[in-house]
Copies of this chain bind each other. A is one copy, B any other.
């Protein structure tokens, strides 16, 4: 069964993922399937050849093509409607419902209409026959009077569906292949998240974010899994369980509902200009835990103990799963970073590419896409690779792009993200009514809600406590409550849960997940504004002084990484940063000269001429991180007047600067929040920037 399901999913994947490769053809050959139809075939009736050919007419084929176009059109119009309503909401500053929540509502409405209002009139000519074969290979080769026709496995049809054909027609038509989400819709969303992640506060809180994303997600997964296993036991006791539900299924459920969505809350945070550290913590965690959840869930699926009972605990299988987790995650990470670095190197070496923004943008797009494909081709997780590719692109490649390409790439991925996201959320709404195998179990649903709440709490509060032991800038309790509240479940949770809905357990999970997503997006998403004011979290508020000290809290490992990045990676991969021969030991002189871009020297010379006061406190390259707070504040005020091309050899000041470049809008907000009393900055351009920012980052 599980084999057939995987095959099914994969077969859909191959045929549906929009790539149109005739791959299934070759698969036929590769798999060399034995198709046995001989003795098992039992068809009750038989028609003449001519009748056959009449039935399968061009007319009918054309009609279906039209029908398909019309169905897709419905989705497009749904999205259009969503956009127009969103605009209305934005215009009226109505913040109780985010666009994703709205898309779900429209999806629900369309789902209700499809389910209950539209009845396709029963076609009297419709006689369904089937041939009995004793296998379901991915590809069938059918010999029709000497001509060979190739058929691809589309999927299993439940026996009920075969009987009850007409009513399902409309509903089955609007059902997308689950792999579409993973191969087409999720990658731009995740890439965009990674590409938007570049901001100083993210890197400053990197340690905490990693802790929440890795430790927190794993803890949450196991807590939810254990709790749900309790529920399942209870249900089995009182006879509410209609099928198998193993501990691995519970863990799988834990993994998929541990992926929080960065979309909804953060859009509101953006609009309300909420505290930058909280924003960075939540955004960073949401983005990274998506990646963790994907790999975690696939590792859990890969847990297969030897022997008869495949659902017992076995240390070896457990270790293997853990190895898979580590291998897949680090492999995807490495691939994503590698492609990002290659793109950075290309854009670094082909400097004249800057004259052609279209070529630059196309190259950037293709390289980012190839990350996904490369990861999939290597057996890693494309979505995870794309995330880290996006982060690397933002950190290095972005700096090498021409200003026009910077705008273009941002806008392109913003648009793709917007469309994909709203499509997923409206499809989510639709699915509640159009999915056929829903299993709504009250005990499981209540248990799931409790488990999700518990899992989030166990993620946030104990971890925050532990992190606060190490952080100089503590995560205050109102921040913790906000993070607890803002753990929405969204696109990734949905995509993971719809990917496989073949077994009873998976169907129940899917139905429950849908409810969890609806609840969190509508209630938690809608209540964000209230929660913020209730927790007294304001953008420019009482804790302005506290914010100034964020710098102190950076962990030692981040400091090491930062210095390495600033002194070696940035000069090699971008045109910013100090020349390498200033940072490498003297013995590496020739190497440094060869790797440093001429521009870096130019920048340095220019710097020496115009900014000689900066050069004065140079030299101390390996300057430890925490001890220059005061001078940095001064330098930060100074920075705003310095041209972008300038190089700050002082690595600490450079941290401020270089994080300030590239993601202009985010940094504008950051600056506004970190230095609220900084009156060296003229208010007028800031306001215009903020205005622009608000428009651009509203998704």
Contact = CB atoms under 8 A, between A and B. Distances in A.
A427 to B, nearest CB: 11
B155 A150 contact: yes
Nearest to A14: B68
A308 interface: no
Contact of A173 (B26, B43, B65, B148): B26
Interface in A27-48: 27, 29-39, 41-43, 45-47
Interface stretch (A164-172, A550-558, A566-574, A643-651): A164-172
Which 3 pairs, one residue from A and one from B, show the smallest C-beta to C-beta distance?
A18-B18, A37-B131, A151-B151
Contacts of A172: 22, 25-26
> Contact size class for A?
35 or more
A22 B134 contact: no
B177 A135 contact: no
B373 A76 contact: yes
Interface string A364-378: 011101100110111
A4 B64 CA distance: 15
Given A34-B55, A131-B141, A358-B418, 9 more contacts: A15-B154, A30-B64, A34-B129, A52-B135, A66-B377, A87-B350, A133-B143, A150-B157, A358-B415
Contacts of A39: 46
A357 B43 contact: no
Contact of A366 (B25, B70, B83, B378): B83
A49 B1 CA distance: 13
Interface string A345-387: 0100010110111110111011101100110111100100000
A680 interface: no
A659 interface: no
Contacts of A361: 411, 415
Contacts of A126: 29-30, 32
Contacts of A244: none
Contacts of A636: none
A365 B415 contact: yes
A148 B142 contact: no
A530 to B, nearest CB: 24
A146 interface: yes
B143 A130 contact: yes
A10 B65 contact: yes
Nearest to A92: B352
Contacts of A2: 58
Contact of A367 (B21, B80, B87, B699): B80
Interface string A540-565: 00000000000000000000000000
Contacts of A355: 90-91, 695
Interface in A243-290: none
A421 B372 CA distance: 22
18 contacts: A4-B53, A15-B152, A16-B16, A19-B68, A23-B64, A37-B37, A66-B376, A66-B379, A70-B377, A83-B359, A91-B352, A140-B151, A147-B159, A148-B162, A150-B155, A356-B695, A358-B414, A362-B415
B33 A56 contact: yes
Contacts of A142: 130-133, 136, 140
A149 B153 contact: yes
A454 interface: no
Contacts of A10: 58, 61-62, 64-65
Contact of A22 (B47, B133, B173, B370): B173
A84 B156 contact: no
A31 B15 CA distance: 21
A145 interface: yes
A72 B134 contact: no
Contacts of A458: none
A112 interface: no
A696 B360 CA distance: 11
A499 to B, nearest CB: 13
A27 B64 contact: yes
Contacts of A137: 52, 55-56
